[in-house]
Amino acid sequence: MRKHLALVFVGLFVAATATAAVAADYDRYERGPHGGSPGEYAPPPPPPRGYQAPPPRHAQYGQPYFFGHAGVFDPNSDSDGLDGYDTGWNFDVGIGSRVSPFFAIDGTVGAYRAERGSDEATVVPLTIGGRFILPHPFIEPYVGAGLGLYFSSLKERPGVISTGIDDSSTDFGGYLSVGLDMWLNPRIALNFEGKYHWVNPTFRDSSGRDFDVNMSGWTGNLGIRVAF
């Protein structure tokens, strides 16, 4: 009989211990994992490290923009071109549209000029072209090309080859460009661009002879792009 009573007491003790452990776990769950009153829960976890905000508006379809540049003109050194001319100046302004995240169309008007003593060579390009862009929220490199009308003028004193030139010409020309946009915010970017212009106008000297003159060269620009 005593043996049976001892077994009953042992069973009751085990049951009571298990019940106390379950009650403690339940109370801890009600308080929340960090303690506190019932119903108080931990804040949501932070976003994963790889999370990024959506791309800014400049990467969206159909966005127009205005741009302007100023910089230097490095004339070619061909004997039938601008050999001996010093580095000059250059500027341009234009309007464009981001027709897709990867491509934009630009219309540009500008001027570049170089001098050699009293000789002056000036070109005013009016062009339309496109740019292929590597999209990025902040830094976007690109390459471009275009065609248009080039209004050229040349003033050269008499020399060994000609009797002096003071003439102008309108010709078709083209360019290739490479550049980089650094977006300061979704609407404004700082722009760096190098562009090579090709144009080969014909001028007439004072004796009536015609001369083909290569007025091509590099322009290096710093500018700004502003989205509407």
Q: Which domains does the chain have, with CATH numbers?
A: 1-51 (no CATH), 63-227 (2.40.160.20)
Residue 30's pLDDT band, with cuts at 50, 70 and 90, is: very low
Closest CA to 104 of 55, 141, 72: 141
Residue showing tokens 């290569």: 214
Residue range 34-38: average pLDDT?
51
The answer to whether 137 and 109 have CB atoms below 8 angstroms apart is no
75 class by beta-carbon count within 10 Å (0-12 exposed, 13-18 middle, 19+ buried): buried
CA 10/CA 193 separation, integer angstroms: 89
- pLDDT tens-place string over residues 140-173: 999 999 999 999 999 999 987 788 899 999 999 9
Distance (Å) of CA 139 to CA 90, 142, 185, 213: 24, 10, 11, 39
Distance (Å) of CA 15 to CA 8, 25, 129, 178: 11, 16, 86, 81
Neighbour count for residue 25 (Cβ, 10 Å): 9
Identity of the amino acid at 104: A
Q: What is the mean pLDDT of the chain?
A: 83
Residue range 115-132: average pLDDT?
97
Enter the pTM of the model.
0.74
- pLDDT top residue among 177 and 2: 177
